[in-house]
Amino acid sequence: MVKEGGPNPESNFKLKDVIAKAKANNMPNDTIARSIQKAAGGGDGTNYEAIVYEGYGPSGVAVIVETLTDNRNRTAGDMRHYFDKFGGNLGQTGCVSFMFTREGDEYNPIAMVKLTTEEDVKNMEKLLDHLEDNDDVQEIYHNWEWDEEEA
Protein backbone atom coordinates (compact mmCIF):
# COMPACT_ATOMS: atom_id res chain seq x y z
CA MET A 1 0.00 0.00 0.00
CA VAL A 2 3.01 2.31 0.37
CA LYS A 3 3.92 1.67 -3.27
CA GLU A 4 0.40 2.58 -4.44
CA GLY A 5 -0.37 5.52 -2.14
CA GLY A 6 3.06 6.75 -1.12
CA PRO A 7 4.90 6.78 2.22
CA ASN A 8 3.08 9.81 3.68
CA PRO A 9 0.22 8.76 5.99
CA GLU A 10 -1.43 12.18 5.62
CA SER A 11 -2.07 11.52 1.92
CA ASN A 12 -2.28 7.69 2.10
CA PHE A 13 -5.30 6.84 4.22
CA LYS A 14 -4.77 3.06 4.01
CA LEU A 15 -1.26 3.56 5.40
CA LYS A 16 -2.61 5.84 8.13
CA ASP A 17 -5.10 3.12 9.13
CA VAL A 18 -2.38 0.43 9.23
CA ILE A 19 -0.14 2.68 11.35
CA ALA A 20 -2.99 3.24 13.80
CA LYS A 21 -3.57 -0.53 14.05
CA ALA A 22 0.17 -1.15 14.55
CA LYS A 23 0.30 1.43 17.35
CA ALA A 24 -2.81 -0.07 18.95
CA ASN A 25 -0.93 -3.38 19.03
CA ASN A 26 2.06 -1.70 20.73
CA MET A 27 4.38 -1.85 17.71
CA PRO A 28 7.37 0.46 18.34
CA ASN A 29 7.51 3.65 16.24
CA ASP A 30 10.97 2.79 14.85
CA THR A 31 9.66 -0.57 13.61
CA ILE A 32 6.75 1.18 11.89
CA ALA A 33 9.12 3.73 10.32
CA ARG A 34 11.50 0.97 9.12
CA SER A 35 8.61 -0.91 7.53
CA ILE A 36 7.39 2.20 5.72
CA GLN A 37 10.92 3.02 4.53
CA LYS A 38 11.44 -0.58 3.41
CA ALA A 39 8.17 -0.56 1.47
CA ALA A 40 9.00 2.78 -0.14
CA GLY A 41 12.31 1.44 -1.41
CA GLY A 42 14.48 2.49 1.51
CA GLY A 43 16.33 5.12 -0.48
CA ASP A 44 19.23 2.72 -0.99
CA GLY A 45 18.22 1.49 -4.43
CA THR A 46 16.96 -1.84 -3.09
CA ASN A 47 13.81 -3.12 -4.73
CA TYR A 48 11.29 -4.76 -2.45
CA GLU A 49 8.64 -7.16 -3.65
CA ALA A 50 5.34 -8.02 -1.97
CA ILE A 51 4.77 -11.79 -1.98
CA VAL A 52 1.90 -13.72 -0.39
CA TYR A 53 2.61 -17.27 0.82
CA GLU A 54 -0.10 -19.80 1.60
CA GLY A 55 0.13 -23.06 3.47
CA TYR A 56 -1.20 -25.36 6.11
CA GLY A 57 -0.14 -25.48 9.74
CA PRO A 58 -0.68 -28.45 12.08
CA SER A 59 -3.98 -30.33 11.60
CA GLY A 60 -4.85 -28.35 8.48
CA VAL A 61 -4.91 -24.83 9.91
CA ALA A 62 -4.94 -22.47 6.90
CA VAL A 63 -2.22 -19.78 7.01
CA ILE A 64 -1.67 -16.77 4.74
CA VAL A 65 1.56 -14.80 5.13
CA GLU A 66 2.07 -11.40 3.47
CA THR A 67 5.73 -10.51 3.03
CA LEU A 68 7.82 -7.66 1.69
CA THR A 69 11.26 -8.84 0.64
CA ASP A 70 14.37 -7.82 -1.26
CA ASN A 71 15.29 -11.50 -1.76
CA ARG A 72 12.46 -13.80 -2.80
CA ASN A 73 14.66 -16.94 -2.60
CA ARG A 74 15.65 -16.26 1.02
CA THR A 75 12.09 -15.52 2.05
CA ALA A 76 10.65 -18.57 0.26
CA GLY A 77 13.26 -20.76 1.94
CA ASP A 78 12.44 -19.28 5.35
CA MET A 79 8.71 -19.80 4.85
CA ARG A 80 9.18 -23.40 3.69
CA HIS A 81 11.47 -24.12 6.65
CA TYR A 82 9.01 -22.74 9.23
CA PHE A 83 6.03 -24.64 7.82
CA ASP A 84 8.00 -27.92 7.52
CA LYS A 85 9.61 -27.65 10.96
CA PHE A 86 6.34 -27.11 12.82
CA GLY A 87 4.09 -29.75 11.28
CA GLY A 88 2.71 -27.95 8.25
CA ASN A 89 3.53 -27.44 4.62
CA LEU A 90 3.88 -24.47 2.32
CA GLY A 91 1.44 -24.65 -0.57
CA GLN A 92 0.80 -23.09 -3.94
CA THR A 93 -0.91 -19.75 -4.47
CA GLY A 94 -4.63 -20.22 -3.91
CA CYS A 95 -4.36 -23.39 -1.81
CA VAL A 96 -5.92 -21.75 1.28
CA SER A 97 -7.09 -18.28 0.20
CA PHE A 98 -10.47 -19.74 -0.80
CA MET A 99 -11.03 -20.37 2.93
CA PHE A 100 -10.99 -16.62 3.60
CA THR A 101 -13.02 -13.62 2.53
CA ARG A 102 -11.17 -10.43 1.73
CA GLU A 103 -12.55 -7.15 3.02
CA GLY A 104 -10.21 -4.20 2.47
CA ASP A 105 -6.77 -5.16 3.76
CA GLU A 106 -8.28 -7.86 6.20
CA TYR A 107 -8.43 -11.68 5.37
CA ASN A 108 -11.32 -13.13 7.38
CA PRO A 109 -11.56 -16.92 7.82
CA ILE A 110 -14.80 -18.50 6.64
CA ALA A 111 -14.51 -21.41 9.10
CA MET A 112 -12.24 -21.89 12.10
CA VAL A 113 -10.13 -24.97 12.94
CA LYS A 114 -9.74 -26.12 16.53
CA LEU A 115 -6.55 -27.96 17.45
CA THR A 116 -7.15 -30.98 19.66
CA THR A 117 -3.68 -32.10 20.74
CA GLU A 118 -1.18 -30.28 22.92
CA GLU A 119 1.56 -31.01 20.35
CA ASP A 120 -0.45 -29.33 17.56
CA VAL A 121 -1.10 -26.29 19.74
CA LYS A 122 2.60 -25.96 20.59
CA ASN A 123 3.64 -26.38 16.94
CA MET A 124 1.10 -23.79 15.78
CA GLU A 125 2.32 -21.33 18.41
CA LYS A 126 5.93 -21.92 17.35
CA LEU A 127 5.03 -21.51 13.66
CA LEU A 128 3.32 -18.18 14.36
CA ASP A 129 6.20 -17.02 16.60
CA HIS A 130 8.78 -17.76 13.91
CA LEU A 131 6.71 -16.07 11.22
CA GLU A 132 6.21 -12.99 13.42
CA ASP A 133 9.95 -12.79 14.14
CA ASN A 134 10.86 -12.77 10.44
CA ASP A 135 11.68 -9.23 9.26
CA ASP A 136 10.14 -9.86 5.83
CA VAL A 137 6.73 -10.84 7.23
CA GLN A 138 4.20 -8.00 7.25
CA GLU A 139 0.92 -9.77 8.14
CA ILE A 140 -0.20 -13.27 9.13
CA TYR A 141 -3.74 -14.59 8.79
CA HIS A 142 -4.98 -17.99 9.95
CA ASN A 143 -8.14 -19.86 10.84
CA TRP A 144 -6.96 -21.36 14.13
CA GLU A 145 -9.62 -21.10 16.81
CA TRP A 146 -7.39 -20.41 19.78
CA ASP A 147 -8.83 -20.22 23.26
CA GLU A 148 -7.47 -19.90 26.78
CA GLU A 149 -8.08 -23.58 27.58
CA GLU A 150 -5.52 -24.60 24.93
CA ALA A 151 -2.76 -22.44 26.41
* Interval 102-148: pLDDT, tens: 988 779 999 999 999 999 999 999 999 999 999 999 999 999 997 65
* Interval 32-71: pLDDT, tens: 887 777 777 655 667 889 999 999 999 999 999 999 999 9
78 and 145 belong to one structural domain: yes
CATH number at residue 128: 3.30.70.980
Q: Find all residues with CB under 8 Å of 2, minimum gap 6, and list them.
A: 12, 15, 36, 39, 40
User: Of the candidates 38, 106, 101, which has an alpha carbon nearest to the alpha carbon of residue 75?
Assistant: 38
106 and 58 belong to one structural domain: yes
122 and 67 belong to one structural domain: yes
85 and 35 belong to one structural domain: no
Cα torsion at 8, 10, 14, 15 (round to 10°)? 40
pTM for the model stands at 0.73
79 and 108 belong to one structural domain: yes
Backbone angles phi, psi at 16, to 5 degrees: -60, -40
How many structural domains compose the chain? 2
Domain that holds residue 60: 49-150
18 and 73 belong to one structural domain: no
